[in-house]
Structure 1
Amino acid sequence: MELSVEASMTAASGGRKRRCPPRGLGDLHDDVLERVLARLPPVSFFRLRAVCRRWCAAAASPTFLDACGRVPSRDPWFLMLSDRPHPPLAFDAAESSWNPCRAAPGPAAVPVASSGGLVLYRAPDTGALVVANPLTGATRALPSPPPPQGHGAPQLHSIAMYGSPYRVALFTGELPHLFMALFDSSRDSWEGPVALSRRSEAVLPDAPPHGGASAGADDTVYFLSKSGDVVATNMQRSASKQYSSVVAPSDGRDGEAVAYFLSHSGTVVACDTARRTFAELPRILPVYFEYSIDVVACNGAAYAVVLAEYLDTASLRVWEFAGGAWRQVAAMPPAMSHAFYGKKADINCVGHGDRLMVCVSSGEANGCFMCDVSSNQWEELPKCVNGDGEVNEFLAAFSFEPRLEISV
Structure 2
Amino acid sequence: MELSVGRKRKCPPRGLGDLHDDVLERVLARLPPASFFRLRAVCRRWSSAAESPTFLDACGRVPSRDPWFLMLSDRPHPPVAFDAGERSWNLCRAAPGAVPVASSGGLVLYRASATGALVVANPLTGASRALPVPPQCDGAPQLHAIAMYGSPYLVALFMGELPHLSMVVFDSSKDSWEGPVALARSAETSLPDAPSQGGAGADDTVYFLSKSGDVVATNMQRSASKQYSSVVTPSERGDAVAYFLSHSGTVVACDTARRTFAELPRILPVYFEYSIDVVSCNGAAYAVVLAEYLDTASLRVWEFADCTWRQVSAMPPAMSHGFHGKKADINCVGHGDRLMVCVSSGEANGCFMCDVSSNQWEQLPNCVNGDGEVNDFLAAFSFEPRVEISV
Class of the TM-score when normalised by the shorter of the 2 chains? over 0.9
How far does residue 379 in structure 1 lie from its aligned partner after superposition? 0.5
Give the corresponding residue for 2:160. 173
Give the corresponding residue for 2:206. 221
Match of 1:307 among 290, 296, 303: 290
Letter in 2 for 1:269: V
Give the corresponding residue for 1:116. 105
Q: After superposition, where does 1:288-307 map in structure 2 within 5 Å?
A: 288-307=271-290
Match of 2:65 among 68, 74, 84: 74
Counterpart Cα distance in 2 of 1:274 and 1:203: 16
Give the corresponding residue for 2:128. 139
Counterpart Cα distance in 1 of 2:213 and 2:198: 35
Counterpart Cα distance in 2 of 1:292 and 1:329: 18
Letter in 1 for 2:361: W
Q: CA RMSD in A?
A: 1.5
Give the corresponding residue for 2:307. 324
Counterpart Cα distance in 1 of 2:327 and 2:41: 48
Counterpart Cα distance in 1 of 2:218 and 2:282: 30
Give the corresponding residue for 2:119. 130
**Conserved in 2, the CA contact under 8 Å of 1:260 and 1:268?**
yes
**Conserved in 2, the CA contact under 8 Å of 1:233 and 1:290?**
no
Counterpart Cα distance in 1 of 2:187 and 2:335: 31
Counterpart Cα distance in 1 of 2:31 and 2:378: 30
String of CA shifts for 1:344-364, please: whole Å, max 9, x gaps: 000000000000000000000
Match of 2:53 among 59, 62, 82: 62
Whether 1:238 aligns to 2:223 is yes
Aligned to 1:270, the other structure's residue is in SS state strand
**Conserved in 2, the CA contact under 8 Å of 1:224 and 1:245?**
yes
Give the corresponding residue for 1:192. 179
String of CA shifts for 1:114-169, please: whole Å, max 9, x gaps: 000000000111110000000000000000000023xx441100000000000000
Aligned to 1:113, the other structure's residue is in SS state strand
Aligned to 1:383, the other structure's residue is in SS state coil
Letter in 2 for 1:292: S
Aligned to 2:125, the other structure's residue is in SS state coil
Counterpart Cα distance in 2 of 1:358 and 1:314: 15
String of CA shifts for 1:39-80, please: whole Å, max 9, x gaps: 011102323442112112222211000000000000000000
Q: After superposition, where does 1:5-404 map in structure 2 within 5 Å?
A: 15-102=6-93, 104-107=94-97, 109-149=98-138, 152-200=139-187, 202-209=189-196, 212-227=197-212, 229-251=214-236, 253-254=237-238, 256-404=239-387
For normalisation by structure 1, the TM-score amounts to: 0.93
Counterpart Cα distance in 2 of 1:223 and 1:182: 15
How far does residue 311 in structure 1 lie from its aligned partner after superposition? 1.5
**Conserved in 1, the CA contact under 8 Å of 2:213 and 2:249?**
no
How far does residue 235 in structure 1 lie from its aligned partner after superposition? 2.1
How far does residue 206 in structure 1 lie from its aligned partner after superposition? 2.5
String of CA shifts for 1:173-217, please: whole Å, max 9, x gaps: 1100000100000000000010000014623323214xx011111
Letter in 2 for 1:42: P
Does the C-alpha gap of structure 1 residues 201 and 295 become closer, same or farther in structure 2, counting only changes over 3 Å? farther
String of CA shifts for 1:263-289, please: whole Å, max 9, x gaps: 000000000000000000000011110
Letter in 2 for 1:341: H
Letter in 1 for 2:328: A
Counterpart Cα distance in 2 of 1:235 and 1:398: 21
Counterpart Cα distance in 2 of 1:128 and 1:299: 31
Counterpart Cα distance in 2 of 1:311 and 1:42: 46
Counterpart Cα distance in 1 of 2:304 and 2:119: 32
Counterpart Cα distance in 2 of 1:395 and 1:64: 36
Letter in 2 for 1:206: D
**Conserved in 2, the CA contact under 8 Å of 1:233 and 1:344?**
no
**Conserved in 2, the CA contact under 8 Å of 1:65 and 1:405?**
yes
How far does residue 228 in structure 1 lie from its aligned partner after superposition? 5.9
How far does residue 233 in structure 1 lie from its aligned partner after superposition? 4.3
**Conserved in 1, the CA contact under 8 Å of 2:193 and 2:235?**
no
Unmatched runs of 5 consecutive residues or more in structure 2 = none
Aligned to 2:227, the other structure's residue is in SS state helix
Letter in 2 for 1:365: A
Aligned to 2:280, the other structure's residue is in SS state strand
How far does residue 387 in structure 1 lie from its aligned partner after superposition? 1.2
Counterpart Cα distance in 2 of 1:287 and 1:345: 18
Unmatched runs of 5 consecutive residues or more in structure 1 = none
Letter in 1 for 2:154: R
Counterpart Cα distance in 2 of 1:201 and 1:401: 38
Counterpart Cα distance in 2 of 1:174 and 1:196: 11
How many residue pairs get aligned? The number is: 390
**Conserved in 2, the CA contact under 8 Å of 1:48 and 1:59?**
no
Counterpart Cα distance in 2 of 1:84 and 1:226: 20
Counterpart Cα distance in 2 of 1:116 and 1:61: 22
Letter in 2 for 1:222: Y
For normalisation by structure 2, the TM-score amounts to: 0.97
**Conserved in 2, the CA contact under 8 Å of 1:228 and 1:235?**
no
How far does residue 230 in structure 1 lie from its aligned partner after superposition? 3.5
Larger Rg: 1
